[in-house]
């Protein structure tokens, strides 16, 4: 055979050669992948029929030449079609449709926020906040990238928006072109790892099956069942992946910010501090009140929330904070109570510290309400009470908390940075909180995020124009409260209407939920009408359709390529080659290296749907105690995030090049991105040696 390769190896070379040629040809990626699979299959069929592609098998001590398609092209075609019909690749047509439905919803959420100019407000405000620090504008870009990642997850929109707004400002301020372009392009890719992330959703639609198949194969080799081997089903949900991805995403953002700050310290002329803050006469100056002590103000702002989260973690590890959903659960406090306490104390303390010119009584009443809420959970409720009794016990403390929060939010709205940051943060807490807290799965949370983004966009655009602001604000506020009420009813009552015997308290809760649902729907419809009249809704729907169609077309085209590789045994050949590596960590390291190299020339979607189904059953067959499946998946996700910034085909680089000023060259962008590629590798090394970073949240948070 040519170059000492057998028929299967040459067939793999032919397939991937046509794949790369197709992608580099300039055709749309989906058509290039589908076309390359058809052309490569036809060429392999012809060469196999001519006896030029074969393997040598030994039967009864004699060598026998076997074509790579022993049944001919028609037999291979029928075999692959039967494989498709048996449902192995049914995810493209509904096998994991519920998970994949989150993709268009999260895309719509991101595009709606991008069109509403919320990103522009965030960038301007954060620049004023951090601009006086060395490298402050770069740090502001990282902070905004993190917030947009957690509220949109759309890389293209984030990079383009920050490139249009932040890049000219950074260049005028004297920032180095390489630092400015590097930090913008890289921060924009955080949406691929920080939930809600399309990468995590697409991986979740595949790796759950891969983990199940891998563990079944390992159980068969050991001669036991999966339940006997693991003690639990081999299940890996998208919700678990969202929990696992959150802390690694924050760690990467911190590494970006640290690099920008250190760069400014060593090269101050390339990242100078600037002053963009505006003093408004007659307005309360928080900085002056604290004698411009930035460190002290930062401690007051972040100290309470850091302490409360650390306390939550410690109490959870000691067993005092639990989900309280299992019989015999001895936990003193539920995760829901801790969430209310942490958020409530944080917001109330902010208002007390940063708006001290107002009366403290409403804030103190709110803090007393938080204490009473926790006390009720600890002392009066034993876990067996009816939903109605539970709701009544919590009602009075909750009213005190809401009273305090009402005054706190009104006061904090006077602070520009909080007024701008609050809407996307509230949306983030609503979406991620419902997922991380086990209230719902990612797909309903995506629907909540999409609806919330539409209402935020309507409120923001109305506020910009100044017309109808009061009416729109009231409608959206009522709809938002209705959504909160529905979540409360969902968390405290049994809302199933198909039961034969529904208690009175559950009936009342059902009717309250129905009324709240209609109020929320009316608010959403009203917001859609507002966006439609301003010409924004059509843009949002059009862009969402484009992105979603691209994703699913690539998905289907990738399945065609997978079937081509499967037809001549290429998938089995690759898996057997990987299984020859005995150490599972070495095997994973090899796969990570291959994915990193592929990231230079392939997009993350192609890698997910072409490579992961082939290598997945092997790398997910490791002992989960040694290599947790969520840890493996997040390592892959961070690696795929790197594909957005690795030259020459990093998509984020193309997005930025398209909006950069003429004096910023492609060479400037490439020079600026390499330090961040190294930071990505450092992040992967940290995650490799400390898997607890990914397994921490899934271990302590409930899974419903």
pLDDT tens for 660-676 read 888 888 888 888 889 99
Is pLDDT at 686 greater than 90 in this prediction?
yes
CA torsion through residues 126, 128, 130, 135, sign: positive
Query: Both ends of the chain: CA-CA distance in Å?
Result: 55
Contact 404, 369 (CB under 8 A): yes
Of 334, 425, 442, 449, residue with least CA distance to 122: 425
Is pLDDT at 13 greater than 90 in this prediction?
no
pLDDT score at 610: 79
620-628: average pLDDT: 87
Which residues 6+ apart lie within 8 Å of 644 measured at CB? 155, 185, 189, 192, 604, 650, 651, 652
Domain segments of the chain as ranges: 1-86+537-567, 97-278+598-699
420-441: average pLDDT: 74
290-295: average pLDDT: 66
Give the number of other Cβ atoms within 10 Å of residue 655's Cβ.
24
pLDDT tens for 69-104 read 877 777 777 766 666 555 444 444 444 566 677 778
Q: In angstroms, rounded to a whole number, what is the distance separating the alpha carbons of residues 317 and 92?
A: 40
DSSP sequence for 597-655 = HHTTTS-HHHIIIIIHHHHHHHHTTS-TTTS-HHHHHHHHHHHHHHTTTSTTT-HHHHH
Of 459, 572, 594, 605, residue with least CA distance to 121: 459
The count of residues in the chain is: 704
Contact 113, 457 (CB under 8 A): yes
345-372: average pLDDT: 88
Q: In angstroms, rounded to a whole number, what is the distance separating the alpha carbons of residues 348 and 428?
A: 19
- What φ, ψ does residue 603 adopt, rounded to 5°? -80, 160
Contact 618, 575 (CB under 8 A): yes
pLDDT tens for 232-287 read 888 888 888 888 988 898 899 999 989 988 888 888 888 887 765 555 555 666 66
pLDDT score at 514: 92
Lookup result for tokens 């009416």: 471
Give the number of other Cβ atoms within 10 Å of residue 213's Cβ.
18
384 or 335, which is more confident? 335
Long-range contacts (CB closer than 8 Å, 24 or more residues apart) made by 429-432? 429/343, 430/483, 431/109, 431/151, 431/196, 432/150, 432/195, 432/196, 432/242, 432/246
pLDDT score at 91: 47
Please classify residue 510 by burial: count the beta carbons closer than 10 Å to its beta carbon, then call 0-12 exposed, 13-18 middle and 19+ buried. Answer: middle
Tokens of 594: 């291959």
pLDDT score at 16: 84
In 284-293, which positions are buried (b, 16+ CB within 10 angstroms) versus exposed (e)? eebeeebeee
Instruction: Provide the CA 681 distance to its chain's centre, in angstroms.
Output: 20
431 or 360, which is more confident? 360
pLDDT score at 685: 92
Q: In angstroms, rounded to a whole number, what is the distance separating the alpha carbons of residues 252 and 190?
A: 8
Of 438, 555, 444, residue with least CA distance to 202: 555
Query: At CA 368, angle to CA 365 and CA 350, rounded to 5?
Result: 70
55 has which bridge partners?
66
DSSP sequence for 142-203 = HHHHHHHHHHT--HHHHHHHHHHHHHHHHHHTT--HHHHHHHHHHHHGGGGTSSS-HHHHHH
β-strands 62-67, 54-59: how paired?
Answer: antiparallel
Please classify residue 490 by burial: count the beta carbons closer than 10 Å to its beta carbon, then call 0-12 exposed, 13-18 middle and 19+ buried. Answer: middle
Give the number of other Cβ atoms within 10 Å of residue 504's Cβ.
8
pLDDT score at 88: 47
Lookup result for tokens 């970073």: 693
Q: Quote the longest CA-to-CA distance of the chain.
A: 96
Tokens of 272: 């100078």
Query: Using 50, 70 and 90 to split pLDDT, how confident is the model at 439?
Result: low
Give Cα separations from 640 to 193, 635, 646, 669, 696 (angstroms).
9, 9, 10, 20, 22
Give Cα separations from 521 to 430, 439, 448, 524 (angstroms).
17, 20, 11, 5
Tokens of 493: 């009552």
pLDDT tens for 309-340 read 888 878 877 777 776 545 445 557 777 788 78
Of 105, 144, 109, residue with least CA distance to 124: 144
438-464: average pLDDT: 79
């Amino acid at each position: 055979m040519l170059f000492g390769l057998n028929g299967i190896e040459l067939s793999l070379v032919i397939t991937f050669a046509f794949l790369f040629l197709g992608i580099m040809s300039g055709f749309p990626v989906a058509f290039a992948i589908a076309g390359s699979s058809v052309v490569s299959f036809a060429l392999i069929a012809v060469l196999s029929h001519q006896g030029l592609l074969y393997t040598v098998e030994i039967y009864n001590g004699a060598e026998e030449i076997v074509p790579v398609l022993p049944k001919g092209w028609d037999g291979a075609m029928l075999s692959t079609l039967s494989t498709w019909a048996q449902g192995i690749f049914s995810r493209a047509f509904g096998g994991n449709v519920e998970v994949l439905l989150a993709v268009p919803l999260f895309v719509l959420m991101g595009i709606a926020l991008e069109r509403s100019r919320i990103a522009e407000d965030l960038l301007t405000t954060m620049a004023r906040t951090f601009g006086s620090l060395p490298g402050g504008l770069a740090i502001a870009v990282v902070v905004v990238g993190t917030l947009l990642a957690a509220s949109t997850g759309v890389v293209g929109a984030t990079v383009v928006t920050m490139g249009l707004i932040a890049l000219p400002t950074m260049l005028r301020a004297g920032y180095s072109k390489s630092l400015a372009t590097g930090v913008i392009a890289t921060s924009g890719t955080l949406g691929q790892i920080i939930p809600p992330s399309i990468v995590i959703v697409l991986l979740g639609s595949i790796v759950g099956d891969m983990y199940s198949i891998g563990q079944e194969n390992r159980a068969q080799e050991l001669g036991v069942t999966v339940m006997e081997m693991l003690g639990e089903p081999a299940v890996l949900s998208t919700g678990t992946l969202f929990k696992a991805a959150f802390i690694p995403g924050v760690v990467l953002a911190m590494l970006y910010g640290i690099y920008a700050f250190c760069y400014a310290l060593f090269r101050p002329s390339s990242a100078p501090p600037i002053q963009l803050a505006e003093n408004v006469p007659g307005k309360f100056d928080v900085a002056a009140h604290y004698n411009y002590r930035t460190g002290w103000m930062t401690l007051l702002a972040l100290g309470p929330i850091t302490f409360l989260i650390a306390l939550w973690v410690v109490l959870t590890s000691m067993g005092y904070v639990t989900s309280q959903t299992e019989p015999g659960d001895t936990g003193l406090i539920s995760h829901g109570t801790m969430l209310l306490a942490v958020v409530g104390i944080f917001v109330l303390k902010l208002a007390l510290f940063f708006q001290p010119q107002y009366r403290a009584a409403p804030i103190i009443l709110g803090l007393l309400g938080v204490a009473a809420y926790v006390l009720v959970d600890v002392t009066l409720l034993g876990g067996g009470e009816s939903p109605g009794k539970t709701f009544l016990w919590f009602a009075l403390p909750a009213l005190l908390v809401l009273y305090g929060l009402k005054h706190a939010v009104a006061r904090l709205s006077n602070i520009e940075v909080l007024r701008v940051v609050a809407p996307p943060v509230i949306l983030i807490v609503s979406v991620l909180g419902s997922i991380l807290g086990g209230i719902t799965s990612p797909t309903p949370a995506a629907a909540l995020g999409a609806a919330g983004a539409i209402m935020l966009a309507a409120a923001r655009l109305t506020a910009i124009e100044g017309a109808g602001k009061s009416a729109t604000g009231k409608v959206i506020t009522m709809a938002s409260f209705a959504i909160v009420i529905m979540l409360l009813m969902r968390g405290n009552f049994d809302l199933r209407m198909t039961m034969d015997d529904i208690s009175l308290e559950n009936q009342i809760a059902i009717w309250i939920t129905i009324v709240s649902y209609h109020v929320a729907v009316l608010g959403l419809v009203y917001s859609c009408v507002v966006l439609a009249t301003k010409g924004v809704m059509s843009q949002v729907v059009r862009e969402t359709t484009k992105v979603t169609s691209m994703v699913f077309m690539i998905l289907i085209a990738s399945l065609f390529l997978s079937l081509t590789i499967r037809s001549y045994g290429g998938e089995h050949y690759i898996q057997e080659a990987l299984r020859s590596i005995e150490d599972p960590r070495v095997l994973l390291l090899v796969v990570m290296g291959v994915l990193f190299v592929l990231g230079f020339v392939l997009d993350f979607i192609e890698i997910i749907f072409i490579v992961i189904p082939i290598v997945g059953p092997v790398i997910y067959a490791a002992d989960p105690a040694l290599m947790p499946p969520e840890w493996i998946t997040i390592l892959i996700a961070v690696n795929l995030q790197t594909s957005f910034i690795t030259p020459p085909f990093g998509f984020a680089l193309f997005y930025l090049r398209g909006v950069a000023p003429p004096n910023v060259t492609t060479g400037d962008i490439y020079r600026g991105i390499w330090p961040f590629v190294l930071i990505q590798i450092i992040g992967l090394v940290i995650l490799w040696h400390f898997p607890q970073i990914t397994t921490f949240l899934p271990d302590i948070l409930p899974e419903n």
